[in-house]
Amino acid sequence: MIIQSQEISLKHLLTVESLTDEEVMGLIRRAAQFKNGARSILNKPQYFVANLFFENSTRTHKSFEVAEKKLGLEVIEFDASTSSVQKGETLYDTILTMSALGVDAVVIRHSAENYYHELVESKSIQCSIINGGDGSGQHPSQCLLDLMTIYEEFGYFDGLKVAIVGDITHSRVAKSNMQLLKRLGAQIYFSGPKEWYDSAFEVYGHYLPLDELVSKVDVMMMLRVQHERHHEVGKTNFSKEEYHQTYGLTEQRAKQMKPSAIIMHPAPVNRDVELADSLVEGMQSRIVQQMTNGVYMRMAILEAVLNGKA
């Protein structure tokens, strides 16, 4: 796919479905330019951006913060535990307040799937919404940084074989990645516990036992076991060792991978559960690169959203 680099302008970033292929490739190219030292091209000298994380985060929260500072934005920090959320303030009223204060864009992570609908439908809320993860729904900025990492490695998506392995049902990263990678022509395979797999995923790819797919694919995308969301569908009883041996990328399984194949994981990694500790920073791992690329992709996303305000 040959798409010219051009200025991208987004009103919000809520899901990956809302992005065109041209916007996806444009964001990847812009993020690569930032990685190579490009400066931002913002239209106003001062923009205010607030990071509102109602669920825990290290990478998404802090890489948005680094990205904002690299772009020279005014960063408004928000701690739900010391805010009026503790007095019963709703998400809608928190964002209405940010808008009234003149905040241009908010990055939100929240446990409620699709939390953003009422915010973007409001006529009173003027700030742009960047979804930093909604429950088990979507994680568009993680997906875009994953695609940037894959594109850096291979230079194409069409025909690339990608395995998504693990706790797929609860993973917003998996949902965003299966949708966008499939649209860009990648061939998707799934594996992991059947308890955490849904037949709805069949439109994007096919389930295979892990030992069958590990030697076939170009990308092994391992997912975190999301213990915090398992209460929704009842208990699953894998010991760490049992999960690792049955569904994890063990050192033995990794030896079956193609030499050119890469290992990805959105992190945080449960070491020796989803993948062997020794593989996390190994030769075929791109997990550290994913975290680094997160800063540059989030710069590209913020720039595009602020372009949309001009």
> Residues interacting with ligand CP, by CB under 6 A?
57-61, 133, 142, 266-268
Integer Cα distance of 32 and 36 in angstroms? 6
DSSP-based three-state secondary structure for 106:
strand
Q: How far is the CB of 85 from ligand CP (least distance, A)?
A: 19
Residue 205: CB atoms within 10 A of its CB come to 19
Nearer to ligand CP, 143 or 213 (CB): 143
Query: In Å, what is the CA distance from 20 to each residue of 15, 23, 160?
Result: 11, 5, 20
Smallest gap, in angstroms, from Cβ of residue 45 to ligand CP? 30
- Cβ distance to ligand CP smaller for residue 133 or 192: 133
| Nearest to ligand CP of 52, 267 (CB atom) | 267
The dihedral of CA 179, 181, 183, 186: what is its sign? negative
Closest CA to 302 of 117, 120, 75, 21: 75
**CA dist., res. 269 & res. 138, Å (int):** 19
Give the position of tokens 């690339």. 160
For the CB of residue 179, give the shortest distance to ligand CP in the complex, in Å.
17
Minimum distance from CB of 43 to ligand CP (Å)? 29
Task: Identify which of residues 244 and 265 has a Cβ nearer to ligand CP in the complex.
Answer: 265
**Residue closer to ligand CP (CB basis): 187 or 270:** 270
Minimum Å gap between C-beta 40 and ligand CP is: 23
